[in-house]
C-alpha cells in the first residue's frame, strides 16, 4: 500500500518541476525576444549594413528615383554617389535616425520636405522626402541640373555651400563611391 504522505510529496515534486520547467521556457523565450530586438535595432531597416549586394541595389534604386524625378542617368549616378559618401554607404547614424540621405542641415530660407531638425540635421519622414528635399535645394540654389563630371558637380556644390570639407578630399571620396557603385 502506498503512503498518502509520499503521494502528496511526489505530486508536489512533479508540480514544482513543471513550474521550474515553465519558468525556464519563459526565461529562454524572453531572452530570445530581447536578443532579436537588439539585433533588429542595430540593423537599419532601409540601410545596407555593409552588404555589397544591398549596397548596389540601394544605389540603383536611388539612381532610378532621380531619373524618375527628371535628372539624367549620368547626373542621377553622380548624386547617388554623393548620397553614398554623405551616409557612409547608407550606414551612418544620421541616415538611420533621420532618413537623411545627403547630410542636409535644416533649411532656414527655402521650401523643404524636412519635418524639423534632429541631432543637428534635417529629419525626414522617409527617404523619398530626403531626395525631394535635395531637389528643392537644387532648384532654390539655381543649381545646374547637368554636369560633365563629378569634379564639376562637386565644384558647383562647394561654390553653393553644400559642403565645408576640403574640395579635393570630398571630390575624391565621391569619385570612389561612384566607381564602386557603377563600375566607372
Paired sense of beta strands 116-118 and 121-123, if any? antiparallel
Question: CA-CA distance, 70 to 108, in Å (whole number)?
Answer: 25
Across 28-37, 60-69, 157-166, least confident range: 28-37
- Mean pLDDT (whole number) for 96-105: 97
- Mean pLDDT (whole number) for 112-135: 97
- CATH class given for the domain over 52-182: mainly alpha
pTM of the model: 0.73
Question: CA-CA distance, 44 to 98, in Å (whole number)?
Answer: 11
pLDDT at 42: 39
Contact 133, 124 (CB under 8 A): yes
Amino acid at each position: 500500500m502506498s503512503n498518502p504522505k509520499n503521494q502528496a510529496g511526489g505530486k508536489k515534486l512533479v508540480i514544482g518541476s513543471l513550474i521550474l520547467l515553465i519558468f525556464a521556457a519563459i526565461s529562454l523565450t524572453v531572452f530570445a525576444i530581447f536578443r532579436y530586438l537588439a539585433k533588429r535595432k542595430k540593423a537599419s531597416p532601409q540601410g545596407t549594413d555593409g552588404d555589397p549586394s544591398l549596397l548596389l541595389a540601394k544605389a540603383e534604386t536611388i539612381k532610378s528615383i532621380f531619373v524618375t524625378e527628371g535628372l539624367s542617368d549620368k547626373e542621377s549616378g553622380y548624386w547617388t554617389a554623393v548620397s553614398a559618401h554623405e551616409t557612409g554607404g547608407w550606414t551612418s547614424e544620421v541616415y538611420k535616425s533621420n532618413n537623411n540621405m545627403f547630410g542636409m542641415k535644416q533649411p532656414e530660407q527655402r521650401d523643404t520636405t524636412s519635418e524639423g531638425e534632429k541631432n543637428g540635421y534635417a529629419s525626414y519622414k522617409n527617404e523619398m522626402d530626403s531626395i525631394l528635399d535635395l531637389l528643392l535645394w537644387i532648384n532654390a540654389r539655381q543649381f545646374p541640373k547637368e554636369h560633365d563630371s563629378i569634379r564639376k558637380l562637386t565644384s558647383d556644390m562647394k561654390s553653393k555651400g553644400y559642403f565645408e570639407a576640403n574640395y579635393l578630399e570630398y571630390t575624391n571620396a565621391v569619385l570612389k563611391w561612384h566607381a564602386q557603385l557603377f563600375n566607372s
